[in-house]
Chain A
């Protein structure tokens, strides 16, 4: 089924908002009912299109947060100077309609047959497609070991914090907080660098498969660091969200 889901011309379709869930003060998950949805793979994204009354249109891409087989959900970070994200995170309500097309992308995806061990590295809202991968892994009962290194500004900015703490065995979550650490914090502090990667990443000899998603500078640093640790470039998949966290 994989592979066929993304073939063919994409058409815009109307989805209905089923539920909105606040993840952090800046981030909201939007659960959608999409009647014509063809199904998606873990890691894919979709495009959202807003049309103003005067006909002006703005399009943005958002990673799909839900696992394959689950209803479509996207998780959106509000960018204060954004054209689209303030509407999605502040105005949109259950029952509202939203124009979208997807699923999109065949590169930054993980299918069960791809194996692992999985080394997932998220910067900020870069966690979203990786959460789809982790949920997919859980739902299919995969025994592929998974390790997530998740960089956030503060603990309050960690998206899906509760869920990430409750995965079954075989998934390990490691945090680093770049801006502020709460009292008694025992996780890592500061930006991801070569030393931290060396400490927490699966050794290259275990033939890991890496997925790196976040701001462009984060992705460049991490991808370069992993290759420096001996990861073949072809086993390091990257997705850049730009400087602002949106695409």
Chain B
């Protein structure tokens, strides 16, 4: 399965966070690599969206939707900061 990148979930992130997040910076809790969300690896196959660290492939974020509600797991991120 080939990865997309964080650009592809710009709409989803805007819906969840309310601000532009593809330019946000995140740090992987596993390897410590820091990068912009647009460069994260994204897998969109159902039943959810999985976002992985482009350096070590650790799962950074998971988004799933059921009955119109989002379930969001950001447990793989040490930090996530929207661009000013």
Contact = CB atoms under 8 A, between A and B. Distances in A.
A19 interface: no
B34 interface: no
B2 A10 contact: no
A239 B15 contact: no
Given A102-B11, A105-B7, A107-B36, A7 B2 contact: no
Interface in A1-19: 6-10
A218 to B, nearest CB: 11
Contact of B20 (A46, A47, A61, A106): A106
Contacts of B2: 216-217, 242-243
A240 B22 contact: no
B48 to A, nearest CB: 14
A108 B7 CA distance: 8
Interface in B1-60: 2-8, 10-11, 14-15, 18-20, 22-23, 36-39
Interface residues of A, number: 27
A30 B20 CA distance: 25
A10 B8 contact: no
B4 A240 contact: yes
Contacts of B18: 8-9
Contacts of B81: none
A76 interface: no
A107 B38 contact: yes
A45 interface: yes
A65 to B, nearest CB: 16
Contact of A7 (B5, B10, B19, B23): B19
Nearest to B18: A9
A42 to B, nearest CB: 14
B83 to A, nearest CB: 7
Interface of B: 2-8, 10-11, 14-15, 18-20, 22-23, 36-39, 83
Interface of A: 6-10, 45-47, 59, 61, 101-102, 104-108, 216-217, 237-243, 247
15 contacts: A7-B20, A45-B10, A47-B11, A101-B11, A104-B10, A104-B11, A105-B7, A107-B6, A107-B7, A108-B38, A238-B5, A238-B38, A240-B7, A247-B4, A247-B8
